[in-house]
Amino acid sequence: MIAIKPVGLFFLFVLAPAAAQAGASNGSNALALAAIVGELSPQTSAPNKKLLAAFFSGKADAPHAKDLRIAVKADAIDCRAGNVDITSRACELTFGAKKIELRGRKAHELYATLIENGVALDGAAGASHASLAGLDCIVDADEVAEKAGGGARCAFNP
């Protein structure tokens, strides 16, 4: 019989790659991320984009169909902010074969929202990056309307 010492387990977890661990957020941070990405997503319908925008603007009582759940997905998001050229801000969002680029204020809004949702910063070549893959958000409209702190959840891979 092989005995595993607790110290060995500790080193196993420390040496495991951080990228293999998934990220998640919920509540107001997840709602912000879903609303910003949902606005740009080709898979999100116009009525759902409008409802997400209303929720993000503080209108929890916006009319919606009962039991409505809005899915917002993106294959990848990569945002960067210059730390040498401090005027540089850009994001690239990937939805299947479609890529969308943001610059300036809109890029910064998404960059800051990624960080707010727990996406780690990575610095390289004069810029800081906040990147994720496999974004999958669900917004439960009835739960958001309850104003009890729930209703939005996002999962992603850092």
Mean pLDDT, the chain, rounded, equals 89
* 5: pLDDT strictly greater than 70: no
pLDDT digits (tens, 9 = 90+) for 132-144: 999 999 999 999 9
Which has more confidence, 5 or 44?
44
% of the chain at pLDDT higher than 90: 82
The domains of the chain are located at 22-157
Q: How many CB atoms lie within 10 A of CB 124?
A: 8
Sorting pLDDT into bands at 50, 70 and 90, what band is 7? very low
Q: What's the rounded Cα separation, in Å, for the pair 32 and 52?
A: 9
pLDDT digits (tens, 9 = 90+) for 94-126: 999 999 999 999 999 999 999 999 999 998 778
Q: What's the rounded Cα separation, in Å, for the pair 146 and 61?
A: 9
Q: What's the rounded Cα separation, in Å, for the pair 84 and 88?
A: 9
pLDDT digits (tens, 9 = 90+) for 27-75: 999 999 999 999 999 999 999 999 999 999 999 999 999 999 999 999 9
Q: What's the rounded Cα separation, in Å, for the pair 45 and 65?
A: 14
% of the chain at pLDDT higher than 70: 87
